[in-house]
């Protein structure tokens, strides 16, 4: 299949390329930008006039709920939503059922994703067997089976010696450790940020120290072992400062933030809004500004969706008993593009944190429009206004606090490995 995307504004952060031109695809690869190669005749031409042409997005954290939680979502439903959102690569945390701690589970997920054919799904393997935080997993076998890194998902490893052994083992096999920074003792069954709002609502809070203490411990172990590590979903300004210092000192650490932590604070929980029950919790205005500053400075190098679809009943209980998480695939790009209007980040800067930077963290050769690259390409209408409602949602999980928000920017076409897998209103 030969495709030409004509007259679009091509944005490729990996190559610092921002120019209006044509892009040509053949056999699943990008073969030229500008003039078509000799003898190239497209089977299909997509008119991208007044639109952006970008690499497919790479999402560092998207729970697809399969295997084990198919009543919430499946790989087929969520990769379809991802394609509509311009996401062509998703990293799946290991907290499925069964847990991703054997090559067999990785093979199953990969098979289901290939059957769906809408997006690339890569797995993060479990750092400990069954995510129990006790016995380390067979990381080398998981890496050989295709894992892009190892993680213990949202289950903190309380024992520092176990964490040290994980890092030593991972460093030996050059595996990236994905860390969720939360001290379980300080969390103490909290369900939102500890502060004036939690006190007024009478809800148990999670102090900022639950994150910063865990970051401090893990940074000490990273320095001790030399492992390459990535901090997932930072929520506090102080944690950003700690990561910045570690990067200055030469540690191999990176970090990401969820798009919703760049827009929401504890105030959005003020009426017991269970749609804002997330983990790590939404913190205060100062923290939200600190996260944005971390993104601008480059300390935080990736924005992810932290997609966690739920069935409707999971959000109908009293706040602390509801499931945490947001269905967030379809708001990742428009919320990120909004940052270009609200900060001094350029479109290339924003897109780099959605494409090439997360691809580098995962060690994948995607997220670029370079000649010869895999043709994961999206076409975006940057002036398309739309309102979030149930009718516009493709994810099976409709749990979002952004219902009713007017957003700008929508994906009109998504090509995955050179195949058109989404066309708006098609």
Residues with catalytic annotation? Answer: 306
- Cα gap 208→201, rounded to integer Å: 18
Exposure on the CB side of residue 197, measured as CA atoms within 13 A: 19
Rounded to 10°, the helix 285-297/237-248 angle is: 30
For residue 51, CA distances in Å to 48, 371, 409, 413 come to 5, 21, 10, 10
- Cα gap 310→398, rounded to integer Å: 7
Please state the length of the chain.
426
User: Any idea which residue has 């900060």 for tokens?
Assistant: 343
Supply 148's token pair: 């892009």
Supply 304's token pair: 């992810």
Nearest to 268 by CA among 253, 279, 290, 283: 283
For residue 76, CA distances in Å to 95, 110, 113, 151 come to 18, 12, 7, 24
Nearest to 88 by CA among 147, 28, 45: 28
């Amino acid at each position: 299949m030969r495709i030409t995307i004509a007259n679009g504004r091509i944005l490729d952060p990996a190559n610092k390329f921002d120019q209006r031109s044509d892009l040509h695809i053949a056999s699943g690869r990008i073969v030229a930008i500008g003039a078509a190669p000799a003898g190239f005749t497209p089977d299909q031409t997509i008119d991208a006039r007044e639109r952006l042409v970008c690499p497919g997005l790479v999402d560092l954290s998207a729970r697809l709920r399969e295997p084990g939680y198919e009543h919430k979502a499946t790989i087929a439903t969520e990769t379809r939503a991802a394609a509509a959102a311009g996401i062509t690569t998703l990293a799946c945390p290991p907290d499925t059922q069964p847990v991703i701690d054997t090559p067999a589970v990785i093979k199953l997920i990969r098979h289901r994703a290939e059957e769906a054919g809408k997006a690339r799904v890569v797995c993060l393997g479990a750092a400990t067997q069954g995510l129990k935080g006790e016995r380390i997993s067979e990381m080398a076998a998981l890496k050989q089976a295709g894992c892009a890194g190892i993680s213990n998902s949202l289950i903190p490893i309380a024992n520092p010696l176990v964490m040290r052994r994980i890092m030593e083992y991972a460093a030996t096999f050059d595996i990236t450790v994905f860390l969720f920074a939360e001290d379980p003792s300080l969390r103490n069954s909290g369900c939102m940020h500890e502060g004036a709002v939690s006190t007024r609502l009478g809800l148990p809070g999670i102090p900022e120290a639950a994150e910063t203490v865990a970051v401090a411990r893990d940074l000490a172990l990273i320095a001790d072992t030399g492992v390459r590590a990535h901090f997932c979903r930072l929520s506090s300004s102080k944690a950003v400062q700690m990561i910045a210092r570690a990067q200055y000192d030469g540690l191999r650490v990176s970090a990401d933030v969820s798009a919703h932590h760049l827009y929401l604070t504890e105030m959005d929980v003020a009426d017991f809004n269970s749609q804002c029950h997330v983990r790590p919790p939404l913190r205060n205005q100062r923290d939200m500004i600190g996260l944005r500053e971390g993104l601008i400075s480059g300390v935080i190098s990736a924005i992810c969706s932290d997609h966690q679809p739920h069935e409707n009943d999971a959000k109908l209980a009293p706040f602390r008993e509801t499931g945490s998480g947001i269905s967030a695939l379809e708001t990742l790009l428009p919320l990120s593009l909004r940052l270009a209007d609200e900060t001094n980040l350029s479109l290339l800067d924003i897109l780099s944190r959605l494409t090439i930077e997360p691809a580098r963290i995962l060690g994948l050769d995607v997220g670029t429009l370079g000649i010869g690259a895999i043709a994961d390409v999206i076409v975006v209408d940057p002036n398309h206004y739309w309102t979030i409602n149930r009718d516009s949602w493709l994810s099976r999980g409709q749990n979002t606090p952004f219902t009713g928000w007017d957003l700008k920017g929508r994906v009109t076409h998504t090509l995955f490995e050179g195949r058109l897998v989404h066309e708006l209103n098609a």
